[in-house]
A and B are shown apart, each in its own frame.
Chain A
Amino acid sequence: MRAPDNPVFAKGDVLLAVENVSLGFGGVKALTDVSFDIRKSEIRAIIGPNGAGKTSMLNCINGFYYPTEGRITFKGVKRPKMRPYEAARGGIARTFQNVALFKSMSTLDNIMAGRSIKMDSNFFWQLFRHGPAMKEEVAHRRFVEEIIDFLEIQHIRKTPVGRLPYGLQKRVELGRALAMEPELLLLDEPMAGMNLEEKEDMSRFILEVNQQYGTTIALIEHDMGVVMDLSDRVVVLEYGRKIADGTPSEVKGDQRVIDAYLGVAH
């Protein structure tokens, strides 16, 4: 894998900006006037208590929801209303809170499926599984094998993912997202339900993805230790509003964040 080199968006430039975004479902407001940005090659954490609107925020970013107010700019262009697959083709990949793998497929096929948008040999060659179709299959297989090596999942290459333990499923899901060579990777609770060892492994992979390939990562996580160690900057949501934004140490000392997490004495 190589880092996507884009001269316009060097490390530190704003890759994605969320400006005054509100999202309502009928009378319920999931997000109210939230603004923050994600810079190229950083690890940005979104935290907050349950129901704070973190996943809704990710859903807005990858085109699953369209904000009722405000706007989202990605790579300097305002995002129009789009279908999720268009966002994916634009370079945004994500993993899910509840593992959303293709259960009946093997690890290899799951990650290969993640390469679908990079493959374009036509129907005719697909019918014969020869020529360009096979050449393409092999080229992408090589790339996928690199991801498999990177995530240390060689031994489960041909196992149907439905049979894998939870921790490995999460890892395969990360692999599938990486296969898209995304510019922005959204991770929704990548460490939920993991034991300490699995969390350490996952943290290592997230850091390596970020450092080796310069992939920008936005992650939602509840484990504060992980968030504080991994992320460059943290945005804190509560009841759909942003209550803090800054480096982990700034956020940790913020009185409103402490109140949100620990409760306020009445």
Chain B
Amino acid sequence: MLYREAGQFKTNYVADSAIFPLRQDRIGLGLIIIAAYALAFMGSDFLLQAVLIPFLVFSLASIGLNILTGYTGLLSLGTGAFMGVGAYACYKLMTAFPEVNVIVWIFVSGFFSAAIGALFGLPSLRIKGFYLAVATLAAQFFLQWCFIRIPWLVNYNVSGALDAPLRTLFGTPIMGPNATPQTRYLVVLTIVILLTWLASNLVHGRIGRMWIAIRDMDLAAELMGIRPLQTKLLAFAVSSYYCGVAGALLVFLWYGGAEYDVFNINQSFFILFMVIIGGLGSLIGSFFGAALIFILPIVLGIVLPAMLSPFGISVGADVIEHLRFMIVGALIIFFLIVEPHGLARLWQIGKQKLLVWPFPY
């Protein structure tokens, strides 16, 4: 009864084209953001470090890939590599110019990956679908090769690994071994909220419509005056920007250090699955997808032993691990059969039903 459209009249076009036209949605969003910030002070270090920070990082990367694959319809398997470009660029920038605040460099590093992404997006004018996916594989392998073979990228570090130096914001360490999970979580959360807001503005405006037009019917889009190459390259650039920032966050604010190996093809697939499960062409779906693929296995790992022990069944960690894979796999198949458009569509249907509840329509 609380979730109703009734009585909310739009008297101008600005209000009518608002991203969240329902007052209840706006309140709900506000509460979620407040709760997310509150978790920084109430959650345990384990929750922040092992669950929420990676969840946010993967959500951001999923938003990036969703802009490309979900909104513009261009399949890419280079996500891992584009994340890597962001991470390596961030490392080079913050070690070369340590006096500039690292937050600035995190945002700037995205531009490097945007440029590389746009470069590898050039074939998209001619090829699409699976063939484009194979073309982006070139980016994945070539860039990963660069990460291994160009020692300059890691400042000739003997181990060949990226490590997070100590960096502060307003005197508080936010990066490096001394930074607490709490401060890192707050930084990641703020960056993710900001970038999600910007992405939401983009996809709801002219540029978003052009992207969707290219995805739904590229021929008609071109005959309406939409330049295909520019629109697709813009999608590649924006998408890679998000992936790049996510990559920098992943290495420096979550892992605290990493080797080239984190940016391998598995990472690309991992993000792609999140986007598909969450819902192609949906920003909230990116969060759902990241939650299902990343958080669910962790939850199962904790819940399963607790569920089995009352029955006197004690199983080894390896069995739990296998069970986890089986359950997550089965759930993925279940969700894809129930709603091929992903969790975001389920969410949308649920909200639609709630609007008219208790009546069917």
Contacts and interface: CB of A to CB of B under 8 A. Distances in A.
Contacts of A84: 219, 222-223
A104 B224 contact: no
A113 B224 contact: yes
A113 B210 contact: yes
A88 interface: yes
B205 A101 contact: no
Given A105-B216, A113-B213, A134-B14, A88 B205 contact: no
Given A100-B217, A128-B201, 10 more contacts: A96-B220, A100-B219, A102-B213, A105-B213, A113-B209, A117-B224, A123-B207, A133-B206, A141-B16, A141-B17
Contact of A127 (B201, B210, B216, B221): B201
B204 interface: yes
B220 A104 contact: no
Contacts of B209: 105, 109, 112-113, 116
Given A109-B209, A113-B209, A134-B14, A127 B225 contact: no
Interface string B208-239: 01101100110111111111100000100000
Contacts of B227: 85
B330 interface: no
A89 B210 CA distance: 15
Contacts of B205: 126, 129, 133, 137
A121 interface: yes
B206 A116 contact: yes
Contacts of A138: 12-14, 17
27 contacts: A62-B223, A84-B219, A85-B224, A85-B228, A88-B224, A89-B225, A100-B219, A100-B220, A104-B212, A105-B213, A112-B209, A113-B212, A114-B224, A116-B209, A116-B225, A117-B226, A119-B206, A126-B207, A133-B205, A134-B14, A137-B13, A138-B12, A141-B13, A141-B17, A177-B224, A180-B224, A180-B225
A169 B217 CA distance: 14
B47 interface: no
Contacts, number: 105
Interface in B241-293: 281
Contact of B206 (A62, A85, A137, A176): A137
B96 interface: no
A86 B216 CA distance: 20
B226 A85 contact: yes
B224 A93 contact: yes
A105 B221 CA distance: 13
A83 interface: yes
> For the complex, would chain B's binding face be called helix, strand, loop or mixed by DSSP majority?
helix
Interface residues of A, number: 41
User: Which of A112, A121, A127, A129 counts the most chain B CB atoms within 10 A?
Assistant: A129
A81 interface: no
A19 B182 CA distance: 73
Given A129-B204, A141-B13, A116 B224 contact: yes
B198 interface: yes
Interface of B: 12-14, 16-17, 19, 198, 201-202, 204-207, 209-210, 212-213, 216-217, 219-228, 234, 281
A103 interface: yes
Contacts of A88: 222-225
Contact of B220 (A87, A101, A141): A101
A213 interface: no
B213 to A, nearest CB: 5
A96 B219 CA distance: 10
Given A84-B223, A126-B201, A127-B201, A102 B206 contact: no
A117 to B, nearest CB: 4
B165 to A, nearest CB: 30
B204 to A, nearest CB: 7
A29 interface: no
Contacts of B12: 138
A64 interface: yes
A114 B206 CA distance: 10
A142 interface: yes
A233 interface: no
